[in-house]
Structure 1
Amino acid sequence: MTKQEKEQLGNALWEVANVLRGGMPADEFRNYMLPMLFYRYISAQYESAARMELGSDLPADESLLAWYKDNEEDVPDFEDMMLKSKHYIIKPKYLWSTIHEMARTQDANMLTELSESFRHIEEESFKGAFKGLFSEINLTSQNLGKDYTSRNTLMCRIVVKLEEKLAEYDSKGDILGDAYEILIAKFAAESGKKAGEFYTPQPVSTILSRIVTLDCQDPKTGHKREMSSVLDFACGSGSLLLNVSNQMRLHGGKIGKIYGQEKTNTTFNLARMNMLLHGLHDSEFEIFHGDTLTNDWPLLKDSNPVKPVTFDAVVANPPFSLKWEPDDDASNDPRFNSYGVAPKSAADFAFLLHGFHYLSDNGTMAIILPHGVLFRGGAEAAIRQKLIHDDNIDCIIGLPSNLFYSTGIPVCIIVLKKCRKSDDVLFINAAEYFEKSKKQNELLPEHIDKIVETYRTRAEEDRYSRRVSLKEIRDNDYNLNITRYVSLAQEEPQIDLTANHALLADIDSKIKESTEKLNVFLKELGLESI
């Protein structure tokens, strides 16, 4: 889809969302719109695949529901085939097309059947692998209406309008992945600070994704052809993970499996839906609902602490300066024991060390953090010193302020590796490279390209980028404040005092000469001299 078509689709879907809004905050009506979009997607995908599988046995004017009734004895074998090819099944009575027909005719039982369809998909379609997927949709909420009839009427209207808008774009190809991303961005804009829970702006996400998909040891050689796995331990809606996957695909590469972890239940469900909406099979990704800081994911926690599970790329946009409560044994945690434990007042380095612990020897990690991690003292200074001493920090990128919906503060990207060949740290100060829009500052493609190309080549440019030796960083007490190494200040022009004095003297002389001439005229007119 073109950028213009995406904007038109976004506006059309937002029109549907506005039917729901009423007194609901953005983060609440988001919980209805996005799952409905997902439900429509997997239903359409399944029905299309079913028709292809059945071929001439299912005429275009016959519904899958009718075929099921006429061919009961063939249904088990058919569903086995569908499970192998699509990895899920949806009984015809629970398909979007069935619910849409009920909504179109204002069937009084539509809401009940919609609720039953959600249950079927959660518990039966994926063999129970996606339980709780629709848990945030409350079809009995009084925000939808005071009684069942009014709620049913509203949801009928939503289903019909959603189908009407999406049908206009079906000919544009697989558009629902785009539609989902567009709506997530719009909900983030409406949600303000709450947007930080689930959304990384696409331009920022693209910078991280392009960096981690470059060759680890020599980024100049270009992109990796293969990546066994990628991890985002604070994955939100999963958009950053999908961006990494997209960057690999754009350059002819592939990822073995995508891994994500998310603490918030609503966002965890958004991430699972987002993966499926973008065409990933359930075997190609794993999203875990849990707390990264306590490390409660068995895949990670139960791995051999000496040789843990590792990932070829780690990306993250964790909550900034989150207060946390490390347990009494945190200093012995394999993630922290070589570096120290982040202070209770800010978990930034706890997140960083978690991701770094699970980074493979030939992997790249890129994490978004507030600038405070670059210069704060105490335990954070000790962690910073250890990372620099071990030559693990590859690059620090300063971004413009006001890029995020959740905060106006400027942030940085820290790139870390265990396979570095450079004996310096690249600092990029991109604080002045953005376009100002109505509410947020925005990174344009040329700004993104400049950052990534500078990282790839490690090029130096006045007031933009500089390679700084580890010795210089040590001499600065391991302070990584970007402006200390790449200042944006411009030198004031040198003033030639002798020349300026001569100019002023000449001006003064001319003033005196003009005054004398004027006084001659004033005298002739009989007026007092000045």
Structure 2
Amino acid sequence: MEEMVQERINRLVVLAGKSFFGHSHSGTQLHQVMAVLLLKHASDVWNKTHKTLREKFSDDQAAIDERMKRLRFPLLWENTLEHLFDNRNHPGFATRIDRVLSDLVGGSRGLPEEILKGIAFNADASGLRNRKLKTLVADLANPMLDLSDNVRLGEAVSCLLKSFFGGLTGVGEHYTQPSVSMLLARLLEPKEGMRICDPFSGTGSTLIEMAKHVRSLSGMRSRNVSLYGQDISREAWITAKLHVLLHALDNVHIEAGDIFSNPRHLEQGGLMHFDIVVGALPLDAEGPTVEEARRDPYRRFLRGCPPKGRGDFGYMQHAVETLGPQGRAGLVVPQGVLFRGQREGVIRRSLVEENLVDAVIALPPRLVYGAGIPAAIIIFNKARKTKSVVFIDASKEQIIGRKTTGWTDEDIERIVSTYRQRESVAKFSYVSSQAQIRNNQFNLSVFRYIGSDREGELSKAIILNEDDILKLESELAQVRSDIRMELRDLLGADGDDILSKVNEPLPYYLPEGCRVVMVLDGPLGILMVDATQFFVRRTDEPARSPHKASYLKKSTRSRQPFKKIVAKNSRKTSIVLKKDHSH
């Protein structure tokens, strides 16, 4: 029964949010919906508490008023959502909502005034926005929707965020899918009294999931935990502050700022240390420069400075350096950090040789970062008593053989139990010694240690030839750079936007059915890359064929500049970016 009630509440809140968002999704719109949800929660608590006090104190209005002032979000009756709904057609409705929210902030505890400064409904007083605001208030003022309970409210807000971010590109920039957050919480097992930090906190969803899994020594759920977070995006910071507030979490400290140049969680003149550090690394984020790393007052980058344009190992080193003596970290990372060489290889080698790496878990594509970018979880442990590393292949969406689009509780339990028991399971997990990792040049790719689904010689050949594949990955990175340069010439300044906004429809100036192909003549042979993966079909187009890469026999021709060739046939128009060997 409780599950049915929660599902109904989730559905009503998500539908109200979708109606307000329309076809556009902006952070401001999300914040506005979350702010009205907060007002809805305060109104429902006000109504329920006032009814109880009226039954208890009858006509003793002074006693009722005194106790109503003690509410976490004290309101006047005329500021409740139901009263606002009854007066929604009065002039200046948006201004009235802004004033009510301002009063709510002023009288509440734990709601900084600055987070509502950018949520003003009156800032866009267009007729369309006013109609949407009235519809949102009408949807949430529904008497069948009771959000007075903190747990129900929190679950509904989590569903709203999942719906909002589900249709956006680069989801992992600020939002981590619930199944990944739950897996991290199960792997790290937070206990009461701990300090937990997400240094790239985004919407705060991972911190909230960790808080849900905090247990006392007796195994009971506990709220005795301190949560810390930081994010360079002010928009994400506002979302996180509202998110934890709607989950009624206390002792939460989320700050805005760059963790490299301005880490906000400090104590005794140095970095604050935590029992657990958790989170998903920002995608394609810049790390510190060589000079910034050398001058870092907190000495976080002694293992090395990450290369320009790839801040992954900068974030990872920050996380490791903020762990306490018994601390553990669970970080979601792009799989490229597991095998890329040069500076990153040096830092990865140091982390392994210091016996900090405890486990590596490959995740399904699109689960974290979207756009088909594979991700993994790395578990660090500063108090390891073993030198083995557990590799787990959880990259398949159906881990235990059922046809499903995601993980179930059984899937997560299988991953967690395999990690805890540190056991090797055919085609699923492998426990490697540090000597084996050293022999593999400190490559931490899960697929280096766990064989392919194919049997026999083919599986062996894939492992033996992985060095060639890793070299091709480096070649492919250059190809992607060349694609951007070619698109900039072909399409003008919009080329980068097309590549970055993979969930947007194809621009009007690209022919429908267009296919972009890169032909790279590298030292290992000719690599043909279908770059159509960087574009997403229109909603009214049939699905495109999957990305394919073809390897031809090695060519002795020297590397030459690319040139553009437009090729047509009777069935499809193709834009081919091909090597010019006519010189």
TM-score using structure 1 length = 0.76
Shift of the alpha carbon at 1:490?
Answer: 2.7
Shift of the alpha carbon at 1:373?
Answer: 0.8
Q: Does 1:235 align with 2:204?
A: no
Kindly tell me: are residues 239 and 446 of structure 1, through their superposed partners in 2, closer, same or farther at Cα, counting changes over 3 Å? same
Contact kept, 8 Å, 1:361 with 1:417, in 2: the verdict is no
Deviations 1:357-378 (A, max 9, x none): 1111122210000111111112
Q: Which residue of 2 aligns with 1:120?
A: 103
**SS across alignment from 1:14:** helix
For the residues of structure 2 that align with 1:172 and 1:381, how far apart are their CA atoms? Answer: 50
Contact kept, 8 Å, 2:150 with 2:246, in 1: the verdict is no
For the residues of structure 2 that align with 1:123 and 1:171, how far apart are their CA atoms? Answer: 20
For the residues of structure 1 that align with 2:113 and 2:3, how far apart are their CA atoms? Answer: 35
- Given candidates 343, 349, 367, the residue that maps to 1:403 is 367
Q: Which residue of 1 aligns with 2:254?
A: 287
Q: Does 1:374 align with 2:338?
A: yes
Partner amino acid for 2:261? T
**SS across alignment from 2:226:** strand
Q: Which residue of 2 aligns with 1:159?
A: 137
For the residues of structure 2 that align with 1:228 and 1:405, how far apart are their CA atoms? Answer: 29
Q: Which residue of 2 aligns with 1:393?
A: 357
Kindly tell me: are residues 23 and 154 of structure 1, through their superposed partners in 2, closer, same or farther at Cα, counting changes over 3 Å? same
TM-score using structure 2 length = 0.70
For the residues of structure 2 that align with 1:331 and 1:402, how far apart are their CA atoms? Answer: 35
Kindly tell me: are residues 111 and 433 of structure 1, through their superposed partners in 2, closer, same or farther at Cα, counting changes over 3 Å? closer
Deviations 1:408-457 (A, max 9, x none): 22210000011000121111112234389xxx952222221111111111
Kindly tell me: are residues 18 and 385 of structure 1, through their superposed partners in 2, closer, same or farther at Cα, counting changes over 3 Å? closer
Identity, % of aligned positions: 24
**SS across alignment from 1:37:** helix
For the residues of structure 2 that align with 1:229 and 1:38, how far apart are their CA atoms? Answer: 27
Shift of the alpha carbon at 1:274?
Answer: 1.7
Deviations 1:79-126 (A, max 9, x none): 7x71xxx555444443434423433xx333432221111222334433
Shift of the alpha carbon at 1:468?
Answer: 0.6
Q: Does 1:452 align with 2:448?
A: no
- Given candidates 109, 116, 120, the residue that maps to 1:134 is 116
How do residues 245-264 of structure 1 correspond to structure 2 at under 5 angstroms? Answer: 245-249=211-215, 251-254=219-222, 255-264=224-233
How do residues 34-49 of structure 1 correspond to structure 2 at under 5 angstroms? Answer: 34-45=34-45, 48-49=48-49
Deviations 1:435-489 (A, max 9, x none): 89xxx95222222111111111112101111111111111221111111111224
Kindly tell me: are residues 2 and 485 of structure 1, through their superposed partners in 2, closer, same or farther at Cα, counting changes over 3 Å? farther
Contact kept, 8 Å, 1:115 with 1:139, in 2: the verdict is yes
Kindly tell me: are residues 112 and 20 of structure 1, through their superposed partners in 2, closer, same or farther at Cα, counting changes over 3 Å? same
Q: Which residue of 1 aligns with 2:380?
A: 416
Shift of the alpha carbon at 1:341?
Answer: 1.7
Deviations 1:271-304 (A, max 9, x none): 11221222223xx21111222232331x32x643
| Structure having greater relative contact order (Cα 8 Å, sep ≥ 6) | 1
Q: Which residue of 2 aligns with 1:96?
A: 81
For the residues of structure 2 that align with 1:133 and 1:90, how far apart are their CA atoms? Answer: 19
Contact kept, 8 Å, 1:335 with 1:354, in 2: the verdict is no
Partner amino acid for 1:453? S
Q: Does 1:211 align with 2:187?
A: yes
For the residues of structure 1 that align with 2:114 and 2:187, how far apart are their CA atoms? Answer: 34
For the residues of structure 2 that align with 1:110 and 1:118, how far apart are their CA atoms? Answer: 13
Contact kept, 8 Å, 2:362 with 2:393, in 1: the verdict is yes
Contact kept, 8 Å, 1:401 with 1:441, in 2: the verdict is no
Deviations 1:376-411 (A, max 9, x none): 112211111111111000000011112136332221
**SS across alignment from 2:277:** strand
Q: Does 1:56 align with 2:56?
A: yes
Kindly tell me: are residues 427 and 153 of structure 1, through their superposed partners in 2, closer, same or farther at Cα, counting changes over 3 Å? closer
For the residues of structure 1 that align with 2:163 and 2:454, how far apart are their CA atoms? Answer: 38
The answer for unaligned runs of 5 or more in structure 1 is: 60-66, 214-223, 495-530
Partner amino acid for 2:141? E
For the residues of structure 2 that align with 1:235 and 1:262, how far apart are their CA atoms? Answer: 6
For the residues of structure 2 that align with 1:312 and 1:55, how far apart are their CA atoms? Answer: 47
Shift of the alpha carbon at 1:492?
Answer: 3.5
Kindly tell me: are residues 124 and 242 of structure 1, through their superposed partners in 2, closer, same or farther at Cα, counting changes over 3 Å? same
**SS across alignment from 1:230:** strand
The 10-residue stretch of structure 1 (115-124 or 14-23) with the greater mean CA deviation from structure 2: 14-23
Bigger Cα Rg: 1
Partner amino acid for 2:419? Y
Kindly tell me: are residues 235 and 58 of structure 1, through their superposed partners in 2, closer, same or farther at Cα, counting changes over 3 Å? farther
How do residues 294-333 of structure 1 correspond to structure 2 at under 5 angstroms? Answer: 294-297=261-264, 299-300=265-266, 303-305=268-270, 308-326=271-289, 328-333=291-296
- Given candidates 118, 126, 131, the residue that maps to 1:145 is 126
For the residues of structure 2 that align with 1:91 and 1:462, how far apart are their CA atoms? Answer: 64
Contact kept, 8 Å, 2:232 with 2:256, in 1: the verdict is yes
Partner amino acid for 2:109? F
Q: Which residue of 2 aligns with 1:192?
A: 169
Count of residue correspondences: 451
Partner amino acid for 1:272? K
Q: Which residue of 2 aligns with 1:276?
A: 245
How do residues 456-471 of structure 1 correspond to structure 2 at under 5 angstroms? Answer: 456-471=420-435
Partner amino acid for 1:158? L
- RMSD of aligned Cα (Å): 3.1
Kindly tell me: are residues 382 and 185 of structure 1, through their superposed partners in 2, closer, same or farther at Cα, counting changes over 3 Å? same
The answer for unaligned runs of 5 or more in structure 2 is: 459-583
**SS across alignment from 1:135:** helix
How do residues 57-96 of structure 1 correspond to structure 2 at under 5 angstroms? Answer: 57=57, 71=62, 82=70, 86=71, 89-96=74-81
**SS across alignment from 1:132:** helix
Q: Which residue of 2 aligns with 1:19?
A: 19
Kindly tell me: are residues 321 and 441 of structure 1, through their superposed partners in 2, closer, same or farther at Cα, counting changes over 3 Å? farther
Contact kept, 8 Å, 1:434 with 1:444, in 2: the verdict is no
Deviations 1:225-256 (A, max 9, x none): 43421111111121111111111249425342
Higher normalized helix content (fraction of residues): 1
Kindly tell me: are residues 295 and 28 of structure 1, through their superposed partners in 2, closer, same or farther at Cα, counting changes over 3 Å? closer
Kindly tell me: are residues 18 and 243 of structure 1, through their superposed partners in 2, closer, same or farther at Cα, counting changes over 3 Å? closer
Partner amino acid for 1:315? V
Kindly tell me: are residues 89 and 391 of structure 1, through their superposed partners in 2, closer, same or farther at Cα, counting changes over 3 Å? same
For the residues of structure 1 that align with 2:104 and 2:237, how far apart are their CA atoms? Answer: 17
Kindly tell me: are residues 456 and 42 of structure 1, through their superposed partners in 2, closer, same or farther at Cα, counting changes over 3 Å? farther
